[in-house]
Structure 1
């Protein structure tokens, strides 16, 4: 893929982003109160949301001494202050209701034993604790609209609430305006206009400002499932100028920088300020305000050819320039990698590497000219 210079920079940005999220240190649920709503409110207060004048708490499932639902700290409509939201679990004990919000150490423990959590949800919630994909920027996601359509990207990487980091979000609009799940997972209606989908590998995605959004409480959705239409809804806070979807990437129950991840075979790039930036597909760069074609998800054993300048890339009969040329592949093409080996060194967009990748047709290309999202082999060594 992408040689050694790439990963340390992006990994540092992810870790810095994580440092901005208040992380509880206790291994047990963080709040206990006489009723579940009061316990959830106390847990939310402990997370210190920027705005919580009127917390919106919805208990969507009850089973005896257990409760599950969504907790939203409302933002301020007409401002950059977006709502903050969590899933929560509550259990009644002799001391009162104990509660944990997703992202807290106690949440996964409660989820493992809670009858209000489905068998499909339990492994997804367990993956939200700990850095499941450290150094791995593959998401398996498409852009959040129908594959094969072209939409506009009026806003490049920016924060969930505008300029603050991490720049987790993109503003996207156009096409048929129908917003779709970027990857399969389990969907929740956090608030009017706001859907969250929890995926595997510790990822989740948020979709805000929707009109006609679906009303779901842990429903399984496939990649491409309809979630709602682009809109300007700010019922729960924030602002929207012109219909669009505010699309955000989360990992381990916190927003993370979307730059460097692959979404729809594009890799968002930060700009000098929030809402600027661009997206790369091979050597093709689209700046904020431009149009982006949804190529669909990139497979975990696939890469996008990036010649760092356009044109074509020679394919060789072995892992190095000492082997004969046996064809070529175009910049931006998707290729499948069978295995990798070391050979002659080459320098691409992200630095130098000696790694070569054997493609599914038996030919070889230098990993310096392939975006895979991993700093090393994605299908093992040959």
Structure 2
């Protein structure tokens, strides 16, 4: 799908309806996995198919999916499952699955469903780790039926470097570029470092199971959201699926990668917001949500919208400053007021808290609340920023009345 605005980047699929695929080790376990791909495909299409078909304007989807077992033992399997993009400007729809074969039949759960949570809880830890079991349960519970939709603040940063600015060429739009569920945003240009929008566990889709490179990425977060990242340049040495990553973890650089189908006429990341509750149809609207200090709005059509931060308003095609993830009241506007800049730290102890970065004089800050810590310039007051880092109040200025943390 092509858009008329010359500064926007296409983030939707143009080609490649991938055939059903899977990697299964050549071992005795391969026979035990018989019928797995077919069962995962059927379940994925049963749960996601009607929604995706409606987005694509067709009555039904072809029976195909990219199924990638990551860990399989005996009669259990866990991995990624994706409805690929097609030849009519539609993006891939990625998810995770867990499967258990009982009496010769596979029972399959897809990320976000109660079945998925139940099966991951029962799975051996060699297939789904104890940490993953807890995260998947927390992810769904934190979303709840419609709970995520009620929250304005997502607790997410923009998927780029902290305290930096990024172009956003694609305003709020549907994952497939059409329809009214605006779950996606396009950020960055060539060379832009793309980072995790919050801490979570990382998973890849649409890659061979033996690959150690970047692909279509999902990060499952404890706050009820799952974020998606597509079109990144391939990066070698990528961590194994299920690895815990922190806010700001490097995922790669913005690119035009269409490993699971699609086109991108300009380097960017196709960033998607998903709910941990299958009742929300997986994708979550970004409209009215605050990400990185910006609240996103639509002008009524795909790719056409704007973002607000306080009194600031930026139309898509402009540049957004990454204020980080929200963690409390506010945000309240502040400014670094020190000729030498201000060290932004992980805590309020100037002797032991890690310096996250040095904000230069005049740098805008997004303040959440105030607390106390080491004395700096005769003041022991510190501001907690919306990304949960801290800065000494003596090195900043603000016209706002900042509440206590």
**TM-score above 0.5:** yes
Q: Could you tell me how far 1:35 is from its partner in structure 2?
A: 2.5
Specify the alignment match of 1:217 in structure 2.
Answer: 241
Paired residue total: 291
Specify the alignment match of 2:70 in structure 1.
Answer: 60
Question: C-alpha separation between the residues in 1 aligned to 2:365 and 2:199?
Answer: 25
Question: C-alpha separation between the residues in 1 aligned to 2:270 and 2:66?
Answer: 20
1:145 counterpart SS class: coil
Question: C-alpha separation between the residues in 2 aligned to 1:160 and 1:134?
Answer: 17
1:204 counterpart SS class: strand
Question: C-alpha separation between the residues in 2 aligned to 1:237 and 1:225?
Answer: 25
Normalized against structure 1, the TM-score is what?
0.69
Q: Deviations over 1:174-216 (max 9, x none)?
A: 3841110000101111125310100012101000111124464
**1:303–1:337: 8 Å Cα contact kept in structure 2?**
no
2:300 counterpart SS class: coil
Q: Deviations over 1:253-297 (max 9, x none)?
A: 511111222211111112221111111111101100001111221
Work out whether 1:121 is the aligned partner of 2:132: yes
Give 2:164's match in structure 1, choosing from 113, 127, 149.
149
Specify the alignment match of 1:245 in structure 2.
Answer: 269
Give 2:230's match in structure 1, choosing from 196, 201, 208.
208
Specify the alignment match of 1:264 in structure 2.
Answer: 292
1:128 counterpart SS class: helix
Normalized against structure 2, the TM-score is what?
0.65
Question: C-alpha separation between the residues in 2 aligned to 1:378 and 1:198?
Answer: 31
Q: Could you tell me how far 1:64 is from its partner in structure 2?
A: 2.2
Q: Could you tell me how far 1:45 is from its partner in structure 2?
A: 2.8
Q: Could you tell me how far 1:140 is from its partner in structure 2?
A: 1.8
Give 2:177's match in structure 1, choosing from 162, 167, 171.
162
Question: C-alpha separation between the residues in 1 aligned to 2:316 and 2:404?
Answer: 30
RCO greater where, 1 or 2, for CA within 8 Å and sep 6 or more? Answer: 1
Give 1:106's match in structure 2, choosing from 112, 115, 121.
115
Unmatched tracts of structure 1, length 5 or more: 1-32, 307-330, 339-359, 371-376
1:292 counterpart SS class: strand
**1:52–1:74: 8 Å Cα contact kept in structure 2?**
no
Residue correspondence of structure 1 range 123-202 to structure 2 within 5 A: 123-126=134-137, 127-128=139-140, 130-131=144-145, 132-133=147-148, 135-174=150-189, 176-192=191-207, 193-202=215-224
Question: C-alpha separation between the residues in 1 aligned to 2:104 and 2:69?
Answer: 20
Residue correspondence of structure 1 range 220-239 to structure 2 within 5 A: 220-239=244-263
Question: C-alpha separation between the residues in 1 aligned to 2:102 and 2:312?
Answer: 57
Q: Could you tell me how far 1:173 is from its partner in structure 2?
A: 0.9
Specify the alignment match of 2:350 in structure 1.
Answer: none
**1:231–1:244: 8 Å Cα contact kept in structure 2?**
yes
1:302 counterpart SS class: coil
Question: C-alpha separation between the residues in 2 aligned to 1:74 and 1:52?
Answer: 10
Q: 1:165–1:118: structure 2 CA closer, same or farther, 3 Å change rule?
A: farther
Specify the alignment match of 2:330 in structure 1.
Answer: 303
Unmatched tracts of structure 2, length 5 or more: 1-32, 54-60, 208-214, 334-363, 372-392
Q: 1:289–1:140: structure 2 CA closer, same or farther, 3 Å change rule?
A: same
Q: 1:332–1:108: structure 2 CA closer, same or farther, 3 Å change rule?
A: same
**2:190–2:255: 8 Å Cα contact kept in structure 1?**
no
Q: Deviations over 1:315-345 (max 9, x none)?
A: xxxxxxxxxxxxxxxx98523189xxxxxxx
Give 2:100's match in structure 1, choosing from 87, 91, 99.
91
| Aligned Cα root-mean-square deviation (Å) | 2.9
**1:187–1:195: 8 Å Cα contact kept in structure 2?**
yes
Q: Could you tell me how far 1:136 is from its partner in structure 2?
A: 2.1
**1:194–1:208: 8 Å Cα contact kept in structure 2?**
yes
Q: 1:52–1:83: structure 2 CA closer, same or farther, 3 Å change rule?
A: farther
**1:305–1:333: 8 Å Cα contact kept in structure 2?**
yes
Deviates more, 1:235-244 or 1:177-186: 235-244
Q: 1:53–1:291: structure 2 CA closer, same or farther, 3 Å change rule?
A: same
Q: 1:136–1:364: structure 2 CA closer, same or farther, 3 Å change rule?
A: farther
Question: C-alpha separation between the residues in 2 aligned to 1:265 and 1:46?
Answer: 37
Question: C-alpha separation between the residues in 2 aligned to 1:240 and 1:364?
Answer: 43
Q: Could you tell me how far 1:54 is from its partner in structure 2?
A: 3.6
